[in-house]
Amino acid sequence: MDSSLLKIPGLMIVGTDTGVGKTYISTAIARQLTSEGTRTGAYKPACSGSLTEEQTGAPYWEDVSLLAEAIDGSFPAERICPQTFHAPLAPPVAAEKEGKQVDEALLRQGALWWQDQVDFLIVEGVGGILCPLSENMLVVDFAAALNFPILIVARAGLGTINHSLLTIEVLQNRGFPIAGLILNDVDPELSDESRVSNATQIQQWTTVPVLSFVPFDWQSNLLHHQTQDKIDWKQLVQDHS
């Protein structure tokens, strides 16, 4: 996808790993922008790992449901994520288990659909940046095609310095504009002293700003700096475009 085809601004949210809270951060940003009056879309090019609805027995994908809710249910789930697979595996592997393949053209077309629908688009990646998205495409390849500034979500605990710096280095070596990094606390019951020092340590080794530490609070709708000032996402994207 030529970047010139997508005229609206947007933010690509990637993780240092799976399970770091990309969807939580994506939905928080979408809620904030929506609450500020910005027509906001949410797009996840592919999603694997379905759950079962208790009452009906129907499958659903939690990430897709959360993203849909974050933009007030204004758009159908198939527009938020046009390719879903049941097994909790990388999309091309999950697709293969169903006798399918990830449609690479649809990955692009699905993003382009939002062009005339919203004024700002949140795009959430799959797993880490080098996770396979299709037979021939990694998440980082799709990000390159989209050409949005990148927001990195990292786990707040032990090991995140290495994971964060590796992710930053790969993105910088490929020429991506990186809007910043957010440390997300995904397991508050785990005793981990590194939470106190990780932001400072990461910042010591990179010029990419550590924007925020997000505590484990699943009721929070907005992301804040440690100063409690809201992040201006549109300005941040403009500064890194």
Q: Which amino acid is at 125?
A: G
Q: Which residues contact 126 (CB under 8 A, 6 or more apart)?
A: 44, 45, 46, 47, 48, 90, 91, 133, 139
Nearest to 212 by CA among 25, 23, 18: 25
Beta partners for residue 121, in sequence order? 10, 41
| Residue 5 confidence (pLDDT) | 55
pLDDT by residue, tens only, the chain of 241 residues: 444 457 899 999 999 999 999 999 999 999 999 999 999 999 999 999 999 998 899 999 999 999 999 999 989 999 999 999 999 999 999 999 999 999 999 999 999 999 999 999 999 999 999 999 999 999 999 999 999 999 999 998 888 999 999 999 999 999 999 999 999 888 766 667 787 789 999 999 999 999 988 876 644 544 544 444 688 999 999 999 8
Which tokens sit at 8? 């609206």
Alpha helices in the chain (DSSP H): 22-35, 62-70, 77-80, 91-97, 104-112, 139-146, 160-173, 194-205, 233-239
Q: How far is it between the farthest Cα atoms of the chain?
A: 51
CB 156 within 8 A of CB 190: no
- Domain tally, the chain: 1
CB 14 within 8 A of CB 22: yes
Rg (CA), the chain: 17
| Residue 185 confidence (pLDDT) | 85
Range(s) of the domain holding residue 11: 3-239
- Residue positions annotated with a catalytic role: 44
The CATH code of the domain that includes 39 is 3.40.50.300
Nearest to 13 by CA among 52, 49, 50, 66: 66
| Residue 224 confidence (pLDDT) | 47
| Residue 4 confidence (pLDDT) | 47
